């Protein structure tokens, strides 16, 4: 069911280890792989090709706003994916899932609404995102 695309085989830019717990919001570029626990929002506002992967040993207690999301663990919050969401068998979302495209494996749970966003809405979200100040 899960399409093995070339982009899935790229190395992660950042990894949060299994025995790591982060308190606070995370904003990233590239790929982020989470094996630990995040207590805060996870977003990738500047990188339109950003990808978040949450393993079955990881968890997010906050909202997710990333273009491409692969979940195989719990998210206690809403998920906003402008491009694509993959919900693997052990994924559990306690909140709404906003998506352009979605893949959902048997066993995955969404305890909230599934809200499809159109290409026009996704483009509007890209335009309205705040620009970060250069460092």
Q: Do 64 and 38 meet the contact criterion of CB atoms below 8 Å apart?
A: no
The pLDDT value recorded for residue 16 is: 93
Sequential DSSP letters for 75-102: E-S-EEEEEEEEE-TT-EESS-EEEEEE
Long-range pairs, 79-82, Cβ under 8 A, ≥24: 80/125, 82/48, 82/117, 82/122, 82/125, 82/126
pTM: 0.81
β-strand partners of 32: 14, 52
Walk along the chain (135 residues) and give the pLDDT tens digit of each residue. 454 444 444 566 889 999 999 999 999 999 999 999 999 999 997 778 899 999 999 999 999 999 999 999 999 999 999 999 999 999 999 999 999 999 999 999 999 999 999 877 666 655 445 444 444
The pLDDT value recorded for residue 13 is: 84
The pLDDT value recorded for residue 119 is: 72
Q: Which residues contact 5 (CB under 8 A, 6 or more apart)?
A: none
The pLDDT value recorded for residue 12 is: 66
Residue 28: which of 69, 56, 61, 57 has the closest Cα? 69
- What is the C-alpha separation between 27 and 57, in angstroms, rounded? 21
């Amino acid at each position: 069911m899960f399409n093995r695309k070339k982009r899935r085989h790229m190395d992660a830019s950042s990894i949060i280890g299994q025995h790591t717990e982060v308190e606070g919001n995370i904003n990233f570029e590239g790929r982020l792989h989470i094996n630990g626990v995040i207590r805060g929002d996870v977003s990738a506002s500047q990188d339109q090709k950003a990808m978040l992967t949450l393993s079955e040993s990881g968890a997010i207690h906050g909202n997710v706003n990333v273009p491409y999301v692969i979940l195989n663990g719990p998210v206690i919050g809403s998920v906003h994916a402008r491009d694509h969401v993959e919900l693997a068998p052990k994924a559990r979302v306690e909140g709404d899932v906003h998506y352009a495209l979605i893949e959902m494996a048997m066993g995955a749970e969404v305890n909230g609404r599934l809200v499809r966003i159109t290409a026009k809405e996704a483009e509007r979200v890209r335009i309205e995102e705040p620009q970060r100040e250069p460092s």
